[in-house]
Amino acid sequence: MIHPHFLLPLRRARLYVWFIRRSGFMSTHVRIERYTSLPSTEALKAGLECVFFTSSNTQVFSSDDARSKFKERWLGRYLQHDPHYAYVALSEMNDVVGYLIGSTDDPAITSRFADLAYDQTFGALSQNYPAHLHVNIAPHHRGCGLGAELIERFVADLRKGCVPGVHVVTSKNARNVGFYNRNGFREIAANGVGEREFVLLARKL
Ligand SMILES: CC(C)(COP(=O)(O)OP(=O)(O)OC[C@H]1O[C@@H](n2cnc3c(N)ncnc32)[C@H](O)[C@@H]1OP(=O)(O)O)[C@@H](O)C(=O)NCCC(=O)NCCS
């Protein structure tokens, strides 16, 4: 049997994480800026790319071209086409520690997103939640409420624009499903099997 004394540090660590999350401790050291309000510097570009590639499930690419297309698909085109729906989390040192990019265009019916096969498979189901987003936080800044803050910034702008709803598609077993649920997203549909099982999570606005 494990002696209770050995469990104490574990309990303290859990309490500490809980306190940081509830108090928003980290967010006092990190600020969220609109992408369009930031000077377009190489450091900003490199910071966004760094968080993007660190957070990505895909880490190995067949060529530089494949890597570059991947970045364009999941990051570049959003910054170019929908820069006003991009938000950047910056540390006190102005390092990029997270971002959210989004669009009000429903990928299921928008030609420039025709390559998002998983979204296409849900067809008309996303029509009441046309906006969609991608959010990523640098590993050492996760679990502190930053992702939730970024979602609320996007949602506030969507409401101002009278957008009826927002959705994301993620893997059914991904850890981020809990994050989206806690931020008001509910499962609307699922398809695929095993590791390729996707869920459409949506939030009415
Ligand atoms: C998902 C993510 C954006 C949430 O941002 P955050 O600031 O960490 O979120 P919050 O502090 O508000 O909430 C914490 C929750 O985020 C999720 N999360 C934390 N680390 C995660 C990780 N490495 N991978 C996936 N989800 C993670 C969990 O749901 C966590 O809750 P839990 O500890 O009870 O499981 C962020 O963790 C992240 O960038 N994860 C990796 C990339 C990713 O999954 N992006 C979303 C793609 S759809």
Q: What is the pLDDT of residues 104-117, one digit of tens each?
A: 999 999 999 998 87
How many domains would you assign to the chain? 1
The alpha helices in 30-93, defined as continuous H runs, are 42-55, 64-71, 77-81
- Helix count and strand count (H, E) for the chain: 7, 7
- Residues 52/75, Cβ–Cβ less than 8 Å: yes
Query: Strand ranges (DSSP E) for 16-158?
Result: 31-34, 86-90, 96-103, 131-137
CATH of the domain at 14: 3.40.630.30
> If pLDDT is split at 50, 70 and 90, which confidence band does 28 have?
low
> If pLDDT is split at 50, 70 and 90, which confidence band does 196 have?
confident
Q: Ligand 1: which residue has its CA nearest to atom 31? A: 179
Q: Taking CB atoms and a 6 Å cutoff, what residues make up the pocket around ligand 1?
A: 21, 55, 135-137, 142-148, 168, 170, 175-176, 178-179
Q: What is the pLDDT of residues 131-177, one digit of tens each?
A: 999 999 999 999 999 999 999 999 999 999 999 999 999 999 999 99
pLDDT at 118: 75
Q: Which domain holds residue 19?
A: 4-204
* CA 24 – ligand 1 centroid, Å: 15
| Mean residue pLDDT across the chain | 88
Q: Which two tokens stand for residue 127?
A: 């029509």
In this model, does residue 18 exceed pLDDT 90? no
pTM assigned to the model:
0.87
Question: Which of 17, 134, 175 has most ligand 1 atoms within 8 Å of CB, for mutation?
Answer: 175
Q: Ligand 1: which residue has its CA nearest to atom 43? A: 136
Give the span between the Cα atoms of 203 and 205, in whole angstroms.
Answer: 6
* Beta strand 31-34 pairing with 86-90: antiparallel
pLDDT at 63: 95
